[in-house]
Structure 1
Amino acid sequence: MPVTTEQAAWFRDAFTSLVDNVDKAILGKQDVIRLVVAAMVSEGHVLLEDYPGTGKTVLAKALANTLDGAHSRIQFTPDLLPSDVTGVTIYNQNTREFEFHKGPIFSQIVLADEINRASPKTQSALLEVMEEGLVTVDGEAHTVGRPFMVIATQNPVEQAGTYKLPEAQLDRFLVKTSLGYPDRETSVDLLMDAANRARASRVSAIIGVDAVNAMIQLASEVHVERAVMEYITDLLQGTREDEDAALGVSMRGGLALARIAKTWALSQGRLYVTPDDVRDLAPHVLAHRIIVDAEAEFAGTTAVDIVTRVIARVAPPAARAA
């Protein structure tokens, strides 16, 4: 069912309110906040990779506080077990039956702090739930509900005692982004408010689970021209054919890009996706899915460089199809 103009206006206003609410805790980073909120409405997950003290955890907590639903935080450590994340089946002596006790993954917003500090076995516990919204324990599947979003953080410079996320795990994240350091004016504002050590606590819930699910449904119905889908396909093929890419972007990456492009368009009150939406989002959605050739990586080439080069090389559709 096509999205109406009134529905688009409601979506844009709700989306802007969410961004403004989170901005109370993370000053001067509206572009990143918009990207994270768009990922949530697109039913995707976010990987925040940045230096210590840039506000990764504060952003995740602020978004969780904005939603009037269950949220949890998992501090990933080398001794964390898969059952500490997903839950465990325990025998009840009174009823003489096994009962499933849900883990912290059963929340609307889950903060996976320093995800690369957990062992690969524990990291793999997230593969099924991030893709299908299900947790299978002892052969029984349990749904985590909707909306469901994992916001994971990791530090790119401190590698001691960490385990690099495998490609299958990275591919589960719709978006990978970073906050970076604030500008001078924002830095001064933060220092003036240094007495407040819990900035995320000033963010209160302004939207319910039902409203978010309504936004998710509306975003999925945004119109996309076939020419734009062909453009996304050409970008995917371009990453696979690039001389510096050992492995290009799979179809999961293309589906993720199409999904978030719909949300991005509707957040601006538009009922259709443009090639500009795709271009703006492509580096955040595609780069972390690319494996750079070892020699090219040694020479300084990054996955973002490859995506940027492919965007420059692939011509967008010039006109709307008849």
Structure 2
Amino acid sequence: MTGQASPETPTKSILELLPEELPGEGYRKAQIAHWLYAKGVQDFAEMTDLPKALREALAREWRLLEFSLVQAYPSQDGSVKYLFTLLDGQRTEAVYMPYQNRKTVCLSSMVGCPAGCTFCATGALGFGRNLTAAEILGQLLAIAHHQGISPREIRNVVLMGMGEPLLNLKNVLKAIRILLHPQGLAMSPRRITLSTVGIPKGIYRLAEEDLGVRLALSLHAPDDETRKAIIPTAHRYPIAEIMEAVRHYYAKTKRRVTFEYTLLKGVNDHPWQARLLAKLLKGLSAHVNLIPFNPWEGAPVAGTPKAGVLAFAEALRRLGVPVSIRWSRGQDVGAACGQLALKTPKALTPLPEGAGR
């Protein structure tokens, strides 16, 4: 699936605008917003209830597509991994996960990631750049177009893809506001989850914005020594400082916080770490999401075996901690963040447009 970028592509993206900021007078703004976010059109010419002169003016001044190439990799489990080539040639990823009663997308906020977590394929890419709000939203719109559905049929968004959202907060907040806007994607804030490795300043800012979205903290270890070994940013932000920010977020928003915890064999899966984790979360409305490690080529760590994952989960339950296990989807197509972007372009074989619908 190829975008329409060319040397004549306008420099301004219409997806950067809130619905009330869209060009046009009065009800024309609402018409354009409807075409963008309810219909998901990929060309201004498709906005057929607008005057032809306005459509032509929009096409001259504004860009509608953010990618020069979109490649889809369907998994046998029904999920679809997407690799996006941006207009400057860099690449980022997203995942579409259809369930019986909902459609979810996992979006990226950066090209690569500066956090450098040792168990994460995205960390191995290093940091490329922040994504714009348009590039963040564009992932969802491109997925909806490829799936042949309205963008508003996607009712769940998790910002858990490539990058650290709280280090790109300006653009992430702009994208979230359009996701929430009644004339945008009209989503419920309870259905948007932002995942962070733990940037206290960003957590405080998110609390003050009070958008009502859910917060997920990628904790991955309950003690600073282990966390520093697997998450470089832990050297700057100790767990106590992060937890203080998280408790402030909960006090301000009353939203339950999810704690993401990737289980690594012999690293963070010991019984004493389950006990320490339970102690850390005491008095906080929290849910632990255990994540079996999704292996990737060259990974310096190994995942905890299934029996160990189940045992760690049971230990937390006995200690009164709500817990679930997020068994990975899309392993046959490399669905862990960064796995496709780590490959060279020649190693990637895109499916024809329409595949995976």
TM range (shorter): under 0.3
Q: Which has the higher contact order (CA 8 A, sep 6+)?
A: 1
More helix by percentage:
1
